[in-house]
Structure 1
């Protein structure tokens, strides 16, 4: 049965914790994730292939990150942007496949890195950051923008009192292909940003949002 016709109720963290047969998995915001210690690339490919077969059978598909000795698996029902019964069913099947291959899970290795930006007025700067990162609004939370493919870190806006522009101790570098840099910069400027410096363009261009928070849009051009 297609995903959109299956159970589409997003489950809570507490309800997922109460489920059995999920020892390999951890609930991470709107996803269910684990990392398998495959030990070799060949074993990782075999596990990936078997997961693919199960996913096609259930018509619900995971997001996979295969490395030399690990396979990271992320489950999410994107129609509701959360974990549903479809994900639980697939998780249990994946665990069984991994056990059959003798591959152990290391769910303690799972983590999500998010960026938080203090602001007295998120509406004034959110369009800039959405544009310069090439992100979208979070489907459920107004105070966050994110890469809906789950690759880049989410950026959320934390309410704070108005304050003078601080001297930043870190900023974001957004590395994009050269042909993407121009349109990305134009979109960020159109979304309320300002040009701080283009002296080192096309290597990098420094932009700032309306509250002075800076970001560099960088490319490989001009580098050795």
Structure 2
């Protein structure tokens, strides 16, 4: 099944859901563990019926859900259909979605020769050097954020900036997140690629990218 582009996903009208990186995400506020557990059981039954299974995280106050067609490498019509079903199940239980709280973090490392250092970081982060492939380290257990390698000719910054965080947020939250970062003592370093990403830096020059799915291939 082919993956869908961002305009198609947005046009689907899934108000409870937001695309982040290559997957669909939502958070439902449940208020207590028992309600959340019952909701997760509902989701599990719907997933089995659809033969399509989301990643679900249950906490005391909320349930986080991620949808992705792993065999296609992105969001497909299957994910939209299951998202609609899950939204209907939440509505039946009067659960409120809170997509404004969604965030996904990736780590970026400047690398002159990514193949020389990739297996090391895969071994350190996951215990398996084979977790490095192409230009990133992916933990199959989902315990650590994805690490990707940003090509660089040399480290010319003083002090050298090797690591930075890519903080993926819903596009509608970008202005507020920038405002919060600046109010907390940071500044905008580069907004020339907005709304795809905006680079902020703290008072000592450490940088982070606020990223959205807009204006990307």
Q: Common fold, TM-score beyond 0.5? A: yes
By how many angstroms is 1:162 displaced?
Answer: 1.9
1:160 to 136, 152, 158: 152
Instruction: Supply the distance in 1 between the matched residues of 2:75 and 2:132 (Cα, whole angstroms).
Output: 19
Q: State the secondary structure of the residue aligned to 2:66.
A: strand
Alignment correspondent of 2:5: 12
Alignment correspondent of 2:72: 80
Instruction: Supply the distance in 1 between the matched residues of 2:139 and 2:8 (Cα, whole angstroms).
Output: 26
1:116 aligns with 2:108: yes
By how many angstroms is 1:126 displaced?
Answer: 1.2
Q: State the secondary structure of the residue aligned to 1:89.
A: helix
By how many angstroms is 1:48 displaced?
Answer: 0.5
Change (3 A) 1:170 1:40: farther
Q: How many pairs does the alignment contain? A: 160
Change (3 A) 1:167 1:128: farther
Gaps of 5+ in 2: 164-217
Change (3 A) 1:10 1:137: farther
1:61 aligns with 2:61: no
Runs of 4+ in 1 over 3 A off after TM superposition: 148-151, 163-171
Change (3 A) 1:164 1:27: closer
Change (3 A) 1:151 1:15: farther
Change (3 A) 1:150 1:15: farther
Q: State the secondary structure of the residue aligned to 1:54.
A: helix
2:27 to 21, 27, 35: 35
RMSD, matched Cα: 2.3
TM-score (norm 1): 0.65
Alignment correspondent of 1:145: 137
Alignment correspondent of 1:49: 41
1:22-70 Cα shifts (integer Å, max 9, x gaps): 1000101111000000011111011111111111111111111000010
By how many angstroms is 1:99 displaced?
Answer: 0.4
Q: Which has the larger radius of gyration?
A: 1
Q: State the secondary structure of the residue aligned to 1:113.
A: strand
